Structure 1
Amino acid sequence: MEGQITKDGKYRYLEVGEGKPMIILHGLMGGLSNFEGVTQHFPPKGYRVLVPELPIYDMPMLKTTVKNFAKFLEEFIEHKKLEEVILLGNSLGGHIGLLHTKMFPEKVKALVITGSSGLYESAMGDGYPKRGDYEFIKKKAEDVFYDPKVATKEIVDEVFATVNDRMKLVKTLAIAKSAIRHNMAKDLPKMDTPTCIIWGKQDNVTPPNVAEEFHELLPDADLFWIDKCGHAPMMEHPNEFNEILDSWLEKRGF
């Protein structure tokens, strides 16, 4: 991963480039490296890309909610003195971006969601009954992608370690319950922030009909598909993902 992680008070983040601020929000099991293609592509085009580590396992249990992650994001934006940000979120990160945009619409110039939760939570909340079984966890990780080879040993090892850490597992399930409670179907029609929806046609975690529902409910949204692609388009097809986002930003004047 290019760039160094900056430690700044309670924040840990990657920051690359100068210009228009683009904040990337990772998912529940996703690290900063999932967006390597984005962090390399956009800085030369005049974007200041920031990837904060979300405090998924650091908050007290009662505060481990999507809403508190959205508030953490707002504190980070204020700390960095950013305005008119572009938020880009995958999976839980998309949900945090959506909720932040609802709570602080004046801060967000544009929103990009890919494989986002917020309308439909399946794989996040089904538990890990065989969490000690490495092969079971490997299969779960591979199912996230269209091409199972994208689930490298490093990714599988990380998921295996997380689900076998009792406190992390408890917090993972708490976040899943919070995501279900924060269903945004009633909020989306009131959110007029320009939104780019990029979705994998073979996403098993948040299936294609979820993308269609986001597109239908959000007043100012454009929907784009990537074929032979699962839940994390920016990892499986980084070049195609960047091309779609590039042309959308250009068309919208961002």
Structure 2
Amino acid sequence: MVFLPFEAQRLTEKTSLDIVNSIQFEDIQTPLSSQSITTSYVCKGEENTPILLIHGFDSSLLEYRRLLPILSQHHQTWAIDLLGFGFTKRNSDLLFSAENIKTHLYYTWKILIEQPIILVGASMGGATAIDFTLTYPEAVKKLVLIDSAGLAAPPKIGKFMFPPLDYLSTAFLRNLTVRQKISESAYYDKSFASKDAQLCAALHLNCERWSQGLISFTKSGGYGSFKQELVNLQHETTIIWGENDKILGTKDADKFKALIPNSKLIWIPKCGHVPHLEKAQLTAEAILN
């Protein structure tokens, strides 16, 4: 394990324990660095078109702990930690930008999977999935966006990320009270913001260079709007959205539906920003159907 075993042993949900115990690592060689990038992933199931799950901002593959077991009963299902996030190693010579995230993801796909996938992205992971699909259309068979980012202009906070403000910002995000409030706002049913959920959301903070990776990504500008490029997205696309999303709101769901030519929109009732955690069975059915 790349995080402290003591912290992982405090997990209580079976899905959390199962996914933690299933994490594997692969050294991925890319053009980004002379050093390989030790990349964390989980893979379960063997049948049908592979599904690849992409997590959101300052998160990890653990956010798919409830969805992955359902999907893997029907498809080979992967969850991979993006460059600069989760438990993937943050090499000191790398810039953790959207462009480099995409390159790392491509070479990870090429080494581990190397066949067209159903690509699923949640929140910031949705923007990653859009960017990847536009650049490497041959790698993607179908696209699924869950309460996705990708229509807003990039935040301007990056220009202010200089010492000591950069480290103060990451210290703020490390604060467990702050993280708990963010977690509660992500759910419609606040009981989902449990101690186990808080621990799952914070385990990767123990990884080496977590704060440097987050600072680097923020300084790079992160993800902006793909509004002009979405017309070029010809893949069959399913948009899944929680009816009670308080993080991104609900207006972008209809905008994505209007902008992506071959798309359908599925609303998840009584659900916040993370349908894959709050309504995993309904989300799985929307993907599998």
Per the normalisation by structure 2, the TM-score is 0.74
Q: For residue 24 of structure 2, what is the aligned residue in structure 1?
A: 6
Q: How many aligned positions are there? A: 246
Q: Are 2:72 and 1:43 aligned? A: yes
Which of 50, 57, 70 aligns to 1:28? It is 57
Supply the AA of the counterpart residue of 1:156: Q
Structure 1 Cα separation of the partners of residues 108 and 228 of structure 2:
27
Could you report, residue by residue, the CA deviation over 1:179-236 in whole angstroms, capped at 9, with x for unpaired residues?
6553211111111111110001111222111111111111111111112111110100
Q: Name the SS for the 1:202 alignment partner.
A: coil
Q: Are 2:269 and 1:227 aligned? A: yes
Contact 2:271–2:278 at 8 Å: present in 1 too? yes
Q: Name the SS for the 1:71 alignment partner.
A: helix
What is the CA distance between 1:31 and its match in structure 2? 2.7
Q: How large is the Cα RMSD of the aligned pairs? A: 3.0
Structure 1 Cα separation of the partners of residues 26 and 175 of structure 2:
38
Instruction: Report the more deviating stretch, 16-25 or 122-131.
Output: 122-131
Instruction: Report the more deviating stretch, 178-187 or 18-27.
Output: 178-187
Q: Name the SS for the 1:64 alignment partner.
A: coil
Supply the AA of the counterpart residue of 1:5: I
What is the CA distance between 1:29 and its match in structure 2? 3.1
Q: How does 1:75-90 map to 2 (within 5 A)?
A: 75-90=107-122
Contact 2:241–2:273 at 8 Å: present in 1 too? yes
Q: Are 2:185 and 1:143 aligned? A: yes
Q: 1:154 to 1:177 in 2, by over 3 A?
A: farther
Instruction: Report the more deviating stretch, 187-196 or 60-69.
Output: 60-69
What is the CA distance between 1:239 and its match in structure 2? 1.1
Q: 1:164 to 1:125 in 2, by over 3 A?
A: farther
Structure 2 Cα separation of the partners of residues 132 and 37 of structure 1:
24
Q: How does 1:203-218 map to 2 (within 5 A)?
A: 203-218=245-260
Q: Name the SS for the 1:44 alignment partner.
A: coil
Q: For residue 82 of structure 2, what is the aligned residue in structure 1?
A: 54
Structure 1 Cα separation of the partners of residues 155 and 54 of structure 2:
19
Contact 2:134–2:233 at 8 Å: present in 1 too? yes
Q: 1:102 to 1:35 in 2, by over 3 A?
A: same
Give the share of equivalent positions with the same residue, in percent: 24
Instruction: Report the more deviating stretch, 68-77 or 30-39.
Output: 30-39
Q: Name the SS for the 2:42 alignment partner.
A: strand
Q: 1:179 to 1:205 in 2, by over 3 A?
A: farther
What is the CA distance between 1:130 and its match in structure 2? 5.0
Supply the AA of the counterpart residue of 1:52: I
Structure 2 Cα separation of the partners of residues 225 and 106 of structure 1:
28
Contact 2:127–2:223 at 8 Å: present in 1 too? no
Q: How does 1:1-254 map to 2 (within 5 A)?
A: 1=15, 2=18, 4-9=22-27, 10-19=38-47, 20-45=49-74, 47-57=75-85, 58-60=90-92, 63-120=95-152, 134-157=176-199, 168-169=210-211, 171-176=213-218, 178=220, 182-247=224-289
Q: Name the SS for the 2:56 alignment partner.
A: coil
Q: Which runs of 5+ in 1 are unaligned?
A: 248-254
Contact 2:242–2:273 at 8 Å: present in 1 too? yes
Structure 1 Cα separation of the partners of residues 240 and 258 of structure 2:
14
